[in-house]
Structure 1
Amino acid sequence: MLFKTYSIYTTRTKHLLHRKSLINPAFNLHTKPISSLKVVWRRDPQLDHAIERDKPYKICSKVVKEVLNEPGQVIPLRYLENRRERLRLNVRISTFLNKNPALFDVYQDRIKPKSEPVRFVRVSHRLRNFLEEEKRIVLENEGWIVSKLCKLLMMAKDKVLSVDKLVHVKREFGFPNDFLVNLVPNYPNYFRLIGPPEEGKSFLELVEWNPEFAKSIIEQRAEDEFGLTGIRIRPNFYYKLPPGFFLRKEMREWIRDWLELDYISPYVDVSHLDQASQEMEKRTVGVFHELLSLSLFKRIPVPILGKFSDEYRFSNTFSSVFTRHPGIFYMSLKGGIKTAMLREAYKDSELIQRDPLLEIKDKFVQLLEEGWQERQEQLRLQREEVKKNRVMMALGDGDTDGQESSREFDGQEVK
């Protein structure tokens, strides 16, 4: 409840805090380095569950991309089995294929003309239909994808990002696999590829600054509120602590004071700001808020964010921001990987701020579930068939025993 009403933090309250700081200089929280402000991490089971629930989808997606990247989109089953550890599969490939029958077809073929036939894996007809649907969804949302890419470049200090890094985060933001080949060249007014194609030497540069794109989610939210109510509010973070979460008084006071600072857009130049200042902290939180808001699932692994420390001016201890502001972010440790999550984007474990590109995931999950249902139906029929055979065998054994008993009885009668 404390931080749901931060916007009514009054001038009188600030005056009282100022008086306290004069009486007791140790009370002046501005004098304390930000790095010394600690908040104990606390697990959020609901947000952890959101990550765990998407695990089957992500694993299946990895295997599909592995096959699609092969020449002809086919691969010997044993080759795929050798990559199981890299794909983080905890079952054999044959077991995975049986559990997900809608994704692939298995057939016999030769690796070499005179070699023995071996099992190959290829994309199923239903998966090909999904891939066509994926192209349609991407085409319908191409403008949104372009704006996302522009925003990532506009937040960078030199309006330039490494191509390798962008490729590494394409899944986080919903960029198509071929966005550098089939999308970027179509927008020469926004993008320019510079440098040789060698690894680490190619960059994507912003050509034109679009003021419409230079508006953060928080600023847009304030404008939408003004349009609805006619009341102009200051752009600021929505801060809500999870139930049962407690902050020490010193930290509560610091956060209240920090929230009263003017919002700093992630799209403005901050080269003049001290890296250790509260204003830079406000800007850094703003960048993370914007990056997570632009991501598909409103969450990004912390190591991936760390790759952009130089471009977005993150400090070496940037990950502490996520635990220092538990009313804005949550840092999950699920799966042994630190993942930064935007708390306001979720209600319990459900994502409420849905990206338009999530329709692709919905279609893929639908395909998976169809395969799972078919497998369950096949297993049910197999169980019924086994049960039926057992009954027939039992009846057959009973008839045999009856005939033998009759023959024995007849023999006794003859005697």
Structure 2
Amino acid sequence: MFVKSQSFLFSVSKLFHQHQQWRGMGAMTKVRLKWVKNKNLDHVIDTETDLKAACILKDAIKRSPTGITIRENFNCYWNKRYPTLFHEFPHARYASLPCFKLTDTALMLDSQEEIIHQSHEADTVERLCRVLMMMRSKTVSLRSLHSLKFDLGLPDNYEKTLVMKYPDHFCFVKASNGNPCLKLVKWRDEFAFSALQKRNEDNDVSGEESRYREFKRGQSTLTFPMSFPRGYGAQKKVKAWMDEFQKLPYISPYDDPSNIDPESDLMEKRAVAVLHELLSLTIHKKTKRNYLRSMRAELNIPHKFTRLFTRYPGIFYLSLKCKTTTVILKEGYRRGKLVDPHPLTRLRDKFYHVMRTGFLYRARGLGMVSKEELLLDRPEDDLEEEGSEEEEIVEGSELEEDSEAE
């Protein structure tokens, strides 16, 4: 059983007394790092951009039992690229107006998805509680939550199929501006531990070397796992900077930070902890930067928080693929593959496999994926050869001074 966070974290009052020694004094040397392109992680963004669009379209068609009509030429073309998922048929009254419905293959995948949502409902409820527990008001707008729906692995109509089933966990409220929001009904002590704390407690239980016992006695601090771009980890200046950062007390993202100086290095480490935890709660260990921006004030992180991603390239990776900025938790991936894939990500791998098959064999795509193949736990992937991450330092591309205007 996990120990409640209050029982083993430094008290906020003690931290407030201690944190001044890490403020000002040039405590953490400001090191400017060039952006390093990681081709494996960029490939993840490339792959999942079309996957997400197809999943959203699948859900939209599913909500319309008679199928949907496509009036926009681009969307029609896009649907035709994937005949294994979307079947075109003529409109009942207007023969020239294309309509689409889900193929039997897509319906089978959707039924598998429903089974996963049902069997892992408790896990989904816990993740949603954790997101709300990190918010200053324990509330998040439905608009922001809807943007994160795919990343958090929420069911399509989660407001009715999930939220309303747990009135002792969630309720709908309106913000002062009138926007609908989801609010946590009751604080959950059993969820008030972060992924980093869980990782260290698991190591402690398994007998591996860990400073977790010392941390609980207030004699040490938790450290973030880091994987530096090639060459950075060996630089003395970077190593000294990261050593100082790791020595700062760890502030749980579920603890109240109101007594911490917002300009201190301690608050910066707390902001890193919040972003680390939120990304840990996503099933693909990534999300778009803009989705985080919509919750910035509630998460109590700096206005120009992009610099946190570029200042800590051992923890985060920023991808600029697909004309957007996506932030990835590096520890969640190894050689471009999820280290601990959620069952829903495995199902989405199948979905992408079906998409790719339909694209490659568009003339005969409907019969290219067998029922037996869909019932496997995971389709065979075109795995890349084992080796180190493909990285490339991009000269002159520094993201630290990001305008935050995207």
TM-score computed with the length of structure 1 as normaliser: 0.73
Question: Superposition pairs for residues 118-137 of structure 1, below 5 Å?
Answer: 118-137=97-116
Give CA deviations for 1:222-262 in whole Å, capped at 9, x if unaligned: 11111111755243211221223367644432221110112
1:310 to 2:297 alignment: yes
Describe the shift of the 1:147–1:51 C-alpha distance in structure 2 as closer, same or farther (beyond 3 A): same
Give CA deviations for 1:101-157 in whole Å, capped at 9, x if unaligned: 11122222334xxx6664322222222222222111100110110001000011111
* Structure whose residues are more often helix by fraction: 1
Residue matched to 1:358: 345
How far apart are the structure 2 equivalents of 1:131 and 1:219?
A: 35
How far apart are the structure 1 equivalents of 2:97 and 2:323?
A: 37
Given candidates 105, 109, 112, the residue that maps to 2:87 is 105
Bigger shift: residues 346-355 or 283-292: 346-355
Give CA deviations for 1:353-387 in whole Å, capped at 9, x if unaligned: 212321331332243355356547679xxxxxxxx
Residue matched to 1:166: 145
Residue matched to 2:48: 54
TM-score computed with the length of structure 2 as normaliser: 0.75
| Paired residue type of 2:102 | V
1:32 to 2:26 alignment: yes
- Contact 2:27–2:244, Cα closer than 8 Å, also in 1: no
Residue matched to 1:17: none
1:340 to 2:334 alignment: no
Larger RCO, structure (CA 8 Å, separation 6 or more): 2
Given candidates 215, 226, 244, the residue that maps to 1:239 is 226
Describe the shift of the 1:231–1:42 C-alpha distance in structure 2 as closer, same or farther (beyond 3 A): closer
Describe the shift of the 1:123–1:230 C-alpha distance in structure 2 as closer, same or farther (beyond 3 A): closer
Given candidates 68, 71, 87, the residue that maps to 1:75 is 68
- Contact 1:110–1:118, Cα closer than 8 Å, also in 2: no
Gaps of 5+ in 2: 1-21, 213-221, 367-406
SS at match of 1:193: strand
How far apart are the structure 2 equivalents of 1:240 and 1:119?
A: 49
Residue matched to 1:275: 262
How far apart are the structure 2 equivalents of 1:301 and 1:242?
A: 21
| Paired residue type of 1:220 | K
Residue matched to 2:181: 203
- Structure with higher Rg: it is 1
1:262 to 2:255 alignment: no
Gaps of 5+ in 1: 1-27, 380-415
Residue matched to 1:227: 205
Give CA deviations for 1:46-68 in whole Å, capped at 9, x if unaligned: 22122223344234334334434
How far apart are the structure 2 equivalents of 1:268 and 1:378?
A: 52
Describe the shift of the 1:357–1:97 C-alpha distance in structure 2 as closer, same or farther (beyond 3 A): closer
Give CA deviations for 1:20-53 in whole Å, capped at 9, x if unaligned: xxxxxxxx99523879543222212222122223
| Paired residue type of 1:31 | M
Given candidates 268, 276, 284, the residue that maps to 2:271 is 284
How far apart are the structure 2 equivalents of 1:62 and 1:141?
A: 20
Give CA deviations for 1:333-354 in whole Å, capped at 9, x if unaligned: 1122111111111112122121
1:45 to 2:39 alignment: yes
Describe the shift of the 1:370–1:230 C-alpha distance in structure 2 as closer, same or farther (beyond 3 A): closer
How far apart are the structure 2 equivalents of 1:116 and 1:243?
A: 58
Given candidates 144, 148, 161, the residue that maps to 1:182 is 161
Paired residues in the alignment total 336
How far apart are the structure 1 equivalents of 2:163 and 2:52?
A: 26
Taking only the aligned residue pairs, the percentage that are identical comes to 29
1:147 to 2:126 alignment: yes
- Contact 2:359–2:365, Cα closer than 8 Å, also in 1: no
Give CA deviations for 1:269-312 in whole Å, capped at 9, x if unaligned: 10111111111111111111111111121111111111111110
1:349 to 2:336 alignment: yes
| Paired residue type of 1:105 | H
How far apart are the structure 1 equivalents of 2:257 and 2:173?
A: 25
